[in-house]
Chains A and B, each alone.
Chain A
Amino acid sequence: MSANIDIAGMSNSETQTGAQAQADAKEVLLSVDNVTLTFGGVKAISDISFNINKGEIRAIIGPNGAGKTSMLNVINGFYHPQKGRISYKGKTRKRMKPYHAASSGIARTFQNVALFSGMSTLDNIMSGRSLKMKRGLFWQILHVGPARAEEIEHRAHVEKIIDFLEIAHIRKQPVGKLPYGLQKRVELGRAMAMEPELLLLDEPMAGMNLEEKEDMSRFVLDLNSEFGTTIALIEHDMGVVMDLADRVVVLDYGQKIADGTPSEVQSNQRVIDAYLGVAS
């Protein structure tokens, strides 16, 4: 396991040439096979297959409306695909509920910040620990002994995340009032608190300025190399994608048009057509 993480960490710094060959040798964490998702008559995703290896950073890109967010929603069980199957850690579930996804180690952030706006930064990140907290009603009512110890133990973990993300100064502030860049960071913290094996990031850098993007990229890379978290991210900033990702899958109109290392994808004619348009 730790070997995998090292490889993943290295492949970031390496030139991307050998990445595909390496990936084949690695353990597949999640695989999506022939998934089709329709809303009424509209096909949001048609017959897409790809996989995510353990320890890698996998980017999903594509023009607006390509079905990227729908793909994430399928992965963590919020939408149920009409066809195809998804196996996670070698297990396939017919109809996965979001609850199951969360408890088996899939966390995510959202395109439009979906924080719990009435709660403080601290409480938001603590909420990521919900699944790890077990004390029942009796101890909750008394709030002494085990329930308190548990609360404090998780607080300590959350404080580490707060340190990591450099948001100690806004710990007690209600998140609704924070600037956008910080909200995105808190959201990442909340997902981190779940200690996920697979972290889905939906446009983590949308609407950020250059400096904020650099910070966020640093967190994503550190998260991947230090904690060994597998990351799948959707991003529109191609510079960020090319620098961060080990492998990229490109969607357009709900179909997969390319899959490979950043440099392979970059030179793919269909990708260029999708982004720049085809002269007819």
Chain B
Amino acid sequence: MEGLLTGLDTFLIAPFRDMASLPDFLLQVVWEGFVSGILYALIALGFVLIYKASAVFNFAQGIMVVFSALVLVSLFDLGVPAWLALIITIGVMGLLALTIERVVLRKLVNQHEAILLMATIGLTLVLKGAGQLVFGGEPKSMITEELGLSTGSTDWEVFGGFVIFQHIDIAAAVIAIIMVAALALFFSRTRIGRALRAVADDHQAALSVGISLNQIWAIVWFASGIVALVTGIMWGARSDVSFALEIIALKALAVLILGGFTSVPGAIVGGLIVGIGEKLFEVYWGPMFGGGVEAWFAYVLALIFLLFRPQGMFGERHIERV
């Protein structure tokens, strides 16, 4: 009995006591979680864009982030000015979108979801191999300052301590918010946005009312290519540009589970939950397990969530019909 109580205390109460005793540290942890949450959300956003418009579960989104960042950095290393490198990279992502549409998607119209997923796994391999072949496998550092992003930080004195805000993190948050707003407008207000939703619902029906599948697909892949580039820049600025990111990008899957595959706000909220949740868990509960719990927290959280709400946070309950 005694043991049980101590156990409950260390597990359920002590972490919160720790949080309350050092509120400035708690705030710092939450902020760190918030920023990595934004990055998860950005990756998830790329997924959602493509899934919404083509019902393709794009496994290659993570590698697209790495790939775009590598293109940008390598161009700069070759002596191309930063602004030009950025434009060329956007062009490369457009070209990639066109190629993927022409070579892969066009051939797989109306196929089963699982087959499309596996095609993007194949795509991941190709991009990974090609990326390593052309740019080499070693990590590179992002050209943050050259792109006009500040690398400094601001201290905020609060609760008798202080919290450090990296400028790049603030920029990431602002850019993410702008991008989400733009995408939401794009989806709800434009003709292409409507066509996107039509394509997502039913390929054949969309074709029959005169929507060009090929055009729509190229557009969404390009859009999520740009999302990937932004993610790559932000992520690269915080750590390095390397292929290790690919594994981390899998966490976006957990984010998608929480937020639903087709919901833009879901991706954001899910990203923040995972980001903040895993930081808090790692810092306050992790030591009880011997640390390193960040590796699985997101997935287990998503798993537990799924058991109670299989349709996701914003999804509607699906009635099965026969």
Residues A114 and B319 in contact, CB atoms below 8 Å apart: no
Contact with A along B310-322 (1 / 0, CB 8 A): 0000000001111
Chain A residues lying within 8 Å of B320, measured Cβ to Cβ, are 78
Judge whether A138 is part of the interface by a CB distance below 8 angstroms: no
The answer, yes or no, to whether A73 is at the interface (CB within 8 Å) is yes
A44 nearest in chain B by CB position: B319
Q: How far is the CA of A257 from the CA of B320 in the complex (A)?
A: 27
Interface residues in A112-140 by Cβ distance below 8 A to B read 112, 114
Which chain A residue lies CB-closest to B321? A69
Is A183 positioned at the interface, with any CB of B under 8 Å from its CB? Answer: no
Which applies to chain A's interface (DSSP): helix, strand, loop or mixed?
A: loop
Could you tell me the distance between the alpha carbons of A111 and B320 in the complex, rounded to whole angstroms? Answer: 14
Q: Which of B18-43 contact A (CB under 8 A)?
A: none
Q: Is the CB of B319 within 8 A of A73?
A: no
For B321, what are the chain A residues with a Cβ–Cβ distance below 8 Å? 69
Interface centre among B319, B320, B321, B322 (most CB of A within 10 A): B322
Report the nearest A residue to B319, measured CB to CB.
Answer: A39
Determine the chain B residues whose CB is within 8 A of the CB of A39 once the complex forms.
319
B319 touches A110 (CB 8 A): no
B322: which A residues are within 8 A, CB to CB?
A: 69, 73, 78, 110-112, 114
Chain A residue, CB-CB nearest to B316: A40
Separation in Å of the B311 CB from the closest CB of chain A? Answer: 14
A271 to chain B, nearest CB (A): 26
Which B residues from 265 to 322 make CB contacts under 8 A with A? Answer: 319-322
B236 CB to closest chain A CB (Å) equals: 45
Categorize the interface residue count of chain B. Answer: under 10
CB distance from B105 to the nearest CB of A (A): 24
Q: In the assembled complex, how far is the CB of residue A64 from the closest CB belonging to chain B, in whole angstroms?
A: 14
**B-side contacts of A110, CB under 8 Å:** 322
Q: How far is the CB of B111 from chain A (nearest CB, A)?
A: 14
Chain B residues closer than 8 Å to A78, beta-carbon distance: 320, 322
Residue of B at shortest CB range from A114?
A: B322
Residues of B within 8 A of A69 (CB): 321-322
Main secondary structure of the interface of B (DSSP, over half): loop
Contact size range, A:
under 10
CA distance A114 to B320 in the complex (A): 13
Query: Which residues of A, 57-92, contact B by the 8 Å Cβ criterion?
Result: 69, 73, 78
- Which residue of A has the minimal Cβ distance to B322? A110
A39 to B317, CA, bound (A): 10
**Chain B's nearest CB lies how many Å from the CB of A188?**
16
Residues of A within 8 A of B319 (CB): 39
Question: What is the bound-complex CA distance between A157 and B248, given in angstroms?
Answer: 55
Smallest distance from the beta carbon of B273 to chain A beta carbons, Å? 27
| Complex CA distance for A78 and B319, rounded to whole angstroms | 11
Smallest beta-carbon distance A102→chain B, Å: 14
Contacts of A73 in B (CB 8 A): 322
Bound complex: CA of A111 vs CA of B321, how far in Å? 10
Interface string of A23-55 (1 = CB under 8 A from B): 000000000000000010000000000000000
Q: Which residues of B contact A111 (CB under 8 A)?
A: 322
| Least CB distance, A139 to chain B, in whole angstroms | 33
List chain B residues, Cβ under 8 A from A114: 322
Q: Closest CB-CB distance, A249 to chain B, in whole Å?
A: 20
The residue in chain B whose Cβ has the minimal distance to the Cβ of A108 is: B322
CA of A111 to CA of B319, assembled, Å: 16
Q: How far is the CA of A69 from the CA of B321 in the complex (A)?
A: 9
Q: Given the complex, which residues of B lie within 8 Å of A112, measured CB to CB? A: 322
Q: How far is the CB of B319 from chain A (nearest CB, A)?
A: 6
Docked CA distance A4–B319 (Å)? 39
What is the distance, in angstroms, from B41's C-beta to the closest C-beta of chain A? 31
Nearest residue (CB) in A for B320 is A78
Within 8 A of A (CB), among B170-215: none
Min C-beta distance of A246 to chain B, whole Å: 26
Specify the chain B residue showing the minimal Cβ separation from A42.
Answer: B319
Shortest distance from the beta carbon of A187 to any chain B beta carbon, whole Å? 12
A106 to B: closest C-beta gap in Å: 14
Q: Would you give the shortest CB distance from B305 to chain A, in whole angstroms? A: 22
* A205 CB → nearest B CB, Å: 18
In angstroms, how far is the closest chain A Cβ from the Cβ of B317?
A: 8
Chain B: CB-nearest residue to A202: B322
C-alpha gap A242/B320 in the complex (Å): 31
User: Whole-angstrom distance from the CB of A225 to the nearest CB of chain B?
Assistant: 28
A24 to B164, CA, bound (A): 84
Cβ of A199 to closest chain B Cβ, rounded Å: 16
A203–B35 alpha-carbon span in the complex (Å): 56
A107 to chain B, nearest CB (A): 14
CA distance A112 to B322 in the complex (A): 7
Nearest CB of chain A from residue B315's CB, rounded to whole Å:
15
A76 to chain B: closest residue by CB:
B322
- In the complex, the chain B residue whose C-beta lies closest to that of A111 is B322
Chain A, residue nearest B317 (CB): A40
Q: What's the nearest-Cβ distance from chain A to residue B285, in Å?
A: 39
- Report the Cα distance A111→B322, complex, angstroms: 7
Q: Roughly how many angstroms separate A73 CA and B320 CA in the complex, as a whole number? A: 11
Starting from the known contacts A39-B319, A69-B321, A78-B320, 7 additional A-B residue pairs (CB-CB under 8 Å) come to A69-B322, A73-B322, A78-B322, A110-B322, A111-B322, A112-B322, A114-B322
Which 5 A-B pairs rank lowest in CB-CB distance, beginning with the nearest?
Answer: A110-B322, A39-B319, A114-B322, A73-B322, A78-B322
A to B CB contacts below 8 Å, 10 in the list: A39-B319, A69-B321, A69-B322, A73-B322, A78-B320, A78-B322, A110-B322, A111-B322, A112-B322, A114-B322
